[in-house]
């Protein structure tokens, strides 16, 4: 009896019967060879997968943390005018400065762009957003309205914990004023009114306050920069009155104090803009210079 096997003719696609004597020797060992190769292939793949997990797991955490730290630092420098309007922000230089890759730098710049603090140019470079002082009157009107509104609402809806937080921010603000730490005062003034807005019980009012004061910190920063570390006396008196009114749950008194606080800042900024000294120059009259 002849022992036959079927092999596939790859070219014709038909099955051909061959005698056992004509069977290729490689066909006899093909089955054991395949069985041994499977475990070796599986053993090689496992370490690769484990290696990827170990390498990729920390990356999102490091990238997120790095982006947040870069964002916070750049935002503070922009709002405090350490980075002047129009300053170019090069991703490569920033990555070298913060000792991080360009990815977290790019993420931080995207967040700042969403807040209007930086702008992206056509060539994909980024710069600190220009600052238009013609918007100052509109900003001051909006501050007056939002201060009065949130102060009144906070007096009606604040919780004991929120009141304590407002007092804590006010104490730190006063401490910064005592040593004429103007950049910290700008930041804490923002935090003080944001804390009041949070106590108003209205999430929309709180977000509007944040957006308004974040943009307005550059106006306040320019004003305080001109004071040359000299703060007018009584600047924070209305903050004290505001805290007392919120503590007493007196909406009318809180609204009045919030309005006066906004008016004091507005009056001081207007006065500084009008009375700002102009530098003097010695200019040689035309026609008196030597000609070569």
Per-residue model confidence as pLDDT tens digits over 259-289: 999 998 888 777 766 665 555 545 555 555 5
What CATH number is given for 63-128 in this structure? 1.10.10.10
CATH of 133-274, one of 1.10.3720.10, 1.10.1200.10, 1.20.120.530, 2.60.40.740: 1.20.120.530
Q: Which residue has the tokens 């407002």?
A: 166
pLDDT (0 to 100) of residue 137: 87
Distance, in Å, from the CA atom of 14 to the CA atom of 110, rounded to the nearest integer, reads 63
Tokens of 248: 């007493």
Polymer length in residues for the chain: 292
Quick check: pTM over 0.85? Answer: no
Tell me how crowded residue 69 is: count the other CB atoms within 10 A of its CB.
Answer: 14
Distance, in Å, from the CA atom of 197 to the CA atom of 95, rounded to the nearest integer, reads 36
Q: Are 70 and 94 in contact (CB under 8 A)?
A: yes
pLDDT reading at 29 higher than 90: no
pLDDT reading at 2 higher than 60: no
Residues contacting residue 103 through CB under 8 Å, at least 6 positions apart: 63, 67
Distance, in Å, from the CA atom of 127 to the CA atom of 110, rounded to the nearest integer, reads 12
Domain boundaries, the chain: 63-128, 133-274
Per-residue model confidence as pLDDT tens digits over 215-256: 777 777 666 665 555 565 566 888 999 999 999 999 999 999
pLDDT (0 to 100) of residue 231: 60
Per-residue model confidence as pLDDT tens digits over 175-193: 988 887 777 887 888 899 9
Per-residue model confidence as pLDDT tens digits over 99-138: 999 999 999 999 998 878 899 888 888 999 887 778 888 9
Least confident of 41-55, 69-83, 195-209: 41-55
Residues contacting residue 169 through CB under 8 Å, at least 6 positions apart: 188, 191, 192, 195
């Amino acid at each position: 009896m002849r022992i036959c096997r079927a092999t596939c003719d790859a070219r014709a696609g038909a099955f051909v019967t061959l005698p056992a004597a004509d069977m290729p020797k490689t066909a006899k060992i093909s089955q054991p060879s395949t069985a041994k190769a499977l475990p070796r292939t599986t053993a090689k793949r496992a370490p690769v997968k484990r290696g990827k997990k170990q390498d990729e797991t920390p990356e999102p955490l490091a990238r997120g943390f790095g982006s947040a730290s870069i964002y916070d630092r750049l935002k503070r420098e922009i709002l405090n005018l350490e980075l002047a309007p129009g300053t170019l922000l090069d991703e490569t230089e920033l990555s070298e400065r913060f000792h991080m890759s360009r990815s977290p730098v790019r993420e931080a710049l995207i967040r700042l762009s969403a807040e209007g603090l930086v702008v992206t140019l056509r060539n994909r470079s980024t710069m600190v957003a220009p600052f238009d002082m013609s918007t100052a009157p509109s900003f001051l009107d909006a501050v007056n309205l939002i201060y009065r509104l949130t102060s009144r609402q906070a007096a009606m809806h604040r919780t004991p914990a929120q009141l304590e937080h407002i007092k804590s921010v006010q104490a730190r603000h006063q401490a910064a004023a005592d040593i004429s730490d103007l950049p910290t005062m700008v930041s804490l003034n923002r935090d003080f009114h944001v804390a009041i807005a949070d106590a108003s019980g209205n999430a929309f009012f709180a977000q509007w306050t944040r957006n308004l004061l974040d943009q307005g910190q550059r106006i306040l920063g320019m004003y305080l920069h001109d004071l040359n570390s000299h703060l007018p006396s009584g600047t924070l008196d209305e903050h004290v009155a505001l805290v007392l009114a919120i503590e007493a749950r007196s909406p009318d008194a809180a609204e009045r104090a919030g309005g006066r606080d906004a008016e004091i800042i507005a009056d001081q900024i207007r006065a500084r803009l009008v009375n700002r000294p102009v530098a003097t120059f010695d200019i040689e009259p035309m026609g008196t210079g030597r000609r070569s």
